[in-house]
């Protein structure tokens, strides 16, 4: 089977079930989901290393920013770091990783200004309906 694009899904670990639902939706639309978030048990460094390696191989970084702890469209610090990593790869190594957020960027996080700037620069886009 020939896939459209390779996708890594990023989200809070508490949204693993929703991430798997989105994996299925994306795969039904012929995207190859190469990594989804998991609950980390055991070797924290190894699990993060695998996730970052998947980002390097991806065409799309899909940010599943849903509500968490009463924060609408939540993007946690780990996902913020993953977005920054993908942007760094694009800028420094001329990668072409497209970064999409499922929902709008929240405006009440410590790093919201940075995320909104990156959106304004076109480095992050809102996901379109599939």
Q: What is the pLDDT of residues 85-95, one digit of tens each?
A: 999 999 999 99
Judging by DSSP bridges, how do beta strands 60-63 and 125-126 pair with one another? unpaired
Tens of pLDDT, residues 43-86 = 888 888 999 999 999 999 999 999 998 999 999 999 999 999 99
pLDDT at 130: 63
pTM over 0.75, yes/no: yes
Position of tokens 């992050």? 124
Q: How would residue 1 be classed by pLDDT, with cut points 50, 70 and 90?
A: low
Position of tokens 């999409």? 100
pLDDT at 96: 97
- Three-state SS for 43-99 is CHHHHHHHHHHHHHHCCEEEECCCCECCECCCCCHHHHHHHHHHHHHHHHHCCCCEE
- Residue 129 pLDDT > 80: no
- Calculate the CA 36 to chain-centre distance: 9
- Residue 17 pLDDT > 90: yes
pLDDT at 9: 98
Q: What percent of the chain has pLDDT over 70?
A: 97
> Which whole number is the average pLDDT over 102-129?
95
């Amino acid at each position: 089977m020939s896939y459209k694009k390779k996708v890594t899904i990023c989200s809070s670990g508490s949204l693993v079930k929703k991430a798997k639902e989105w994996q299925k939706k994306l795969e039904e639309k012929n995207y190859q989901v190469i990594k989804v978030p998991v609950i980390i048990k055991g070797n924290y460094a190894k699990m993060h290393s695998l996730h970052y390696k998947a980002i390097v191989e991806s065409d799309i970084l899909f940010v599943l920013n849903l509500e968490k702890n009463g924060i609408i469209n939540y993007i946690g610090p780990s996902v913020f770091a993953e977005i920054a990593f993908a942007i760094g790869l694009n800028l420094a190594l001329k990668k072409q990783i497209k970064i999409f957020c499922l929902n709008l960027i929240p405006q009440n996080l410590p790093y919201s200004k940075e995320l909104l700037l990156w959106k304004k620069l076109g480095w992050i886009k809102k996901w379109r309906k599939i």
